[in-house]
Amino acid sequence: MVATAATSAFFPAISPSSDSGAGSTKFGSGSVNPGRSRPKSSSRGLLVKANAQAPPKINGTSVGIEGVKFDDDLTTSPPPRTFINLLPDWSMLLAAITTIFLAAEKQWMMLDWKPRRPDMLIDPFGLGRIVQDGLVFRQNFSIRSYEIGADRTASIETLMNHLQETALNHVKTAGLLGDGFGSTPEMCKKNLIWVVAKMQVVVDRYPTWGDVVQVDTWVCASGKNGMRRDWLVRDCKTGETLTRASSVWVMMNKQTRKLSKIPGEVRGEIEPYFANSPPIVEEDGRKLPKLDDDSADYIRTGLTPRWSDLDINQHVNNVKYIGWILESAPLPILESHELSTMTLEYRRECGRDSVLQSLTAVSGAGITNLADAGDIECQHLLRLENGAEIVRGRTEWRPKHATNFGMLDQIPAGNI
């Protein structure tokens, strides 16, 4: 009622009679048109009424309010209901339907995503999967621009990081990852962690920027208190073998920092995932010699770990040791040769406050021009300043393919 009366104040109203002149609403002693009477006209002009409202009624009887006069003749009826007025607001419904269709199309595109090129990453999200009867874990990696070195190929540290990543994801995908860094639930209960004791790596060819590599890894038993983990790295597009690696891992108490036997509960967790296969890299039984200041040809001192070099177990990541070992390698070898084989024996861990020295001895030190030499073998030692050994190592180097053509940019396209 109130809304109807208010609306009628802004639209033409039809008077009951053109001769009716007493239809103005009075407020107090005044009127809407003070000082003069409303003109009579047959044109039925626009009537403007302020604060118009219907007179209240009680039991059908109009009740007046002091100072206000109501006239039933001025009460207007609402506008007639037409077909246009009865139509709903279709714009809101159309907007809702459009939103639903757009959301459904987005979900469908995400589910139906497929690589547009065959050389694109097969496993685009890098999650990996378990294959070959649940014993082998497989994961793909794309070589990024920041993972290559001066010779435009992936660095040895990049390859080692891929190996470590697949090892941890293998444990995670198998459902054996506890709260620790690669530790099983039973290992976490007993404060045990894995530490690498020996690593052998053979690199047949280094991938380049944009290559996609496929890394397979699996575990086997190694003696009574060890576990062997192997890796096979291949070119995802051609299937060519790029790198093979084999390692031996033992358990260490996280609190006492001493080696520990494998408890029966832990063995029960990991043995179902052991594969029965020989090492993918034939073990090098040659003893690694200990270097000192007299037997080393090159020595680099003052090496200190950064905070970013520590892993979740609060010791230096084993991949970082490789970079420190190569710090003392002679520059002519690094420029003209590439690392083909590496054997490392880890003797003790390194903390964030340690200061290390890197020693290198080149076999056949009488060679005067290392850049023109053929295959080269080096012995390495990474030690603390007090002489305590961290890592012993042996590396073998072969001439880079680019040396046969002078400069790197002159390599024939068919040989890349």
Catalytic annotation, residues: 313, 315, 350
Q: What angle do CA 168, 171, 172 make, to 5 degrees?
A: 85
Helix axes 318-327, 156-173, angle to 10 degrees: 170
What lies within 8 Å, CB to CB, of 112 at 6+ separation is: none
Among the listed residues 341, 201, 196, 222, the one whose alpha carbon sits nearest the alpha carbon of residue 277? 222
Query: CB of 337 within 8 A of CB of 364?
Result: no
**CA 50 → CA 21, 27, 89, 360, distances in Å?**
18, 10, 31, 102
- Beta strand pairing status for 136-142 and 61-62? unpaired
* CB-based burial, 171-187: b 16+ in 10 Å, e otherwise: bebbebbbebbbbbebb
Show the beta-strand stretches assigned E in 87-181.
129-131, 136-142
* 250 neighbors 136 (Cβ within 8 angstroms): no
Return the exposure string of 318-328: e unless at least 16 CB atoms fall within 10 Å of the residue's CB, then b: bbbbbebbbeb
Instruction: Name the token pair of 415.
Output: 């040989």
SS3 162: helix
DSSP string, 301-318: EEE---GGGB-TTSSB-H
Give the CA distances from residue 240 to residues 166, 174, 213, 214, in Å, rounded to whole numbers and listed in that order.
Answer: 19, 27, 10, 10
Question: Cα(73)–Cα(69) distance, rounded to whole angstroms?
Answer: 12
DSSP 8-state code for residue 240: -
Q: What do you get for the CA distance between the two ends of the chain, in Å?
A: 88
